[in-house]
Structure 1
Amino acid sequence: MSASQEALPQINSPKHVINAASTQGRFISFEGTEGVGKTTAIEQLCTHLQDNGIEYLCTREPGGSPFAERLREILLDPATNINDDTELLLLFAARCDHIQQVILPALQAGTWVICDRFTDSTIAYQGYGRAHGDEAVRAKIDALIEQFVPQLPELTLWLDLPVLEGMARANKRSAADRFEQQATEFFTWVHKGFDTLATQYPERMQRIDASGTTDEVSTRIWQAVKESFSLG
């Protein structure tokens, strides 16, 4: 089995659903620059959901469906040489398939969807990292979202960490992908993009301090989720 196939989302169905709120599908996304600890944070949130009897599905962008995972391989491959418009359109092609094949069916079935990156990453990475917040590029992204994204997350958890600290963490990994190879200036602009979005959409997008231990960050995240969805 290829790495992309292994990454395809699987619905986790606890044997005993004990929380009434779990009968309604919820959509949560995680965002952040490189090295902020999204993978661990998502795993720990899913443990909390499991413990509370909530059926959930973990997925990611780019990717999440068989077709989108193929596009992910292209987008992350350091050997890929494409211009900014091509990159943006490939991201939305992957997103369209992901939404229709995975996200919407899960939500309609009452399953919580936990997504590693979504539209906010496109605005931050392509709109700010690539285009430094250029209004014409932002308008292009906004138009694509309006036309092709029928469902936005109800809650976005922005794991915030100083850029240099996150990059130092990321550099400890194996070979960097096409985005991770960008310079510090790129990620400084990406961070500015997330900060702008958090200011623009304070009810949906919550800043989570990603410093400290994994348990401390997990506690902050679970508190935010409980408050957002009135979980006991």
Structure 2
Amino acid sequence: MMRPVLYTCARSRGLRATWAAEEAGVDIELKMLPFPPRYKAPEYLEINPLGTIPLLIEGESRMTESCAIAHYLATRSGYTDLAIAPGEADYAEYLDFTYHADATITFPQTVYMRFALFEKDKGWEEAGLAYAKWFWKRLVKVEQRLETREFLCADRFTVADICVGYALILAKSVGLDEGVSETLRAYRERLTAREAYKRAAERELQQCNDEQAR
């Protein structure tokens, strides 16, 4: 099977894909880009006209959604314990939380980052703070789910945890931890203690350093 190529930026949503590859034992070629690539690596637009990251290329297949890429890497050679198959307990919940991660949780984070961090000089910081509160309110579903379990689905670590977990990791790195509960902080600690996560984060950082040294 051809080796997948992943274009991403360090600590971006592409970490979901890098992490999933490490968990699944999939050998990917990692290509790190400066952020935002549409401005700092304009040649990337020839590969991905959207200018977004991540981008996974394998043969004729091209994928640009981080949660879909994570699921794909976990199942490209058949279902593994990282994914939940149709007919298995918590299959519906697995799909729901995997999609919930980006559509409901990460979305307000990205708007907050734009208004409160990247473009705060435009006077939009107050709007950014409104999105911060929106993000915190949208954590309630995950928090309630984790009150009686270690992981989101089927009593095991899955791609749903990678996808939701990344949003909590991002929250800590961009100053959104104020509204994150102790339950979710403990969950995040469990996830980031995994060896595959550590390898993924270290690989991205090392690759970035190597690219900058060239």
TM-score over 0.5 for the pair: no
Q: Which has the higher strand share?
A: 1
Q: Which has the higher helix share?
A: 2
User: TM-score, structure 2 length as denominator?
Assistant: 0.36
User: TM-score, structure 1 length as denominator?
Assistant: 0.34
Bigger relative CO (Cα 8 Å, ≥ 6 apart): 1
